[in-house]
Amino acid sequence: MPRPWHAPLALAVVAVLVTACAPAEESEGEVAVVAHVVDGDTIRVDLDGEEVPVRLLNLDAPEKDGPYTEAECLGEEATAFLAALVPPGTEVRLVEDVEPTDRYGRLLAGVYLGEVLVNAEVARAGLAVPVLVEPNDRFHDAVVAAHDEARAASRGLYDPANGC
């Protein structure tokens, strides 16, 4: 039986192909290859032969069940959405802001798939909320706009049918 988030997931993935926000210069940032999707706002990438954790800036997705976290509503769905959008082997472009890493040693970045800001697409699907940890605000407006769109359309966390 299909889960209620499958249809919005498919629509959101299609929207990625036609939607771009927070554009960055095509030559800006570093090219990396996705190695693993950790959760709805963290990936691991191969960057110059080294596997590096990357935290998507200005975005906070619900946690999935893990060794250090308890599952939150739609945490697994947020992870699945990000994994569908940027599966292992996908080439992405990482664009940094002011502070390049967080206290856990993760690279902080806007993650681009072509000209599409992945950070905003997760929010647009209603599977994450905006977060601002200054001074890193470069992608915040795009994530807020995408989040507002999800809320207005009752997607993801804002869909009353999901019980969140």
- Give the catalytic positions in this structure: 55, 63, 106
Residue burial 15-28, b: 16+ Cβ < 10 Å; e: rest: bbeebbbbeeeeee
Query: How would DSSP label each residue in 76-90?
Result: HHHHHHHHHHS-TT-
Rounded to whole angstroms, the Cα distance separating 105 from 62 reads: 20
- Cα dihedral sign for 49, 55, 58, 64? positive
Rounded to whole angstroms, the Cα distance separating 149 from 162 reads: 18
Beta partners for residue 56, in sequence order:
109
Pick from 8, 73, 66, 13: nearest CA to 39: 66
Number of H helices, E strands in the chain: 4, 8
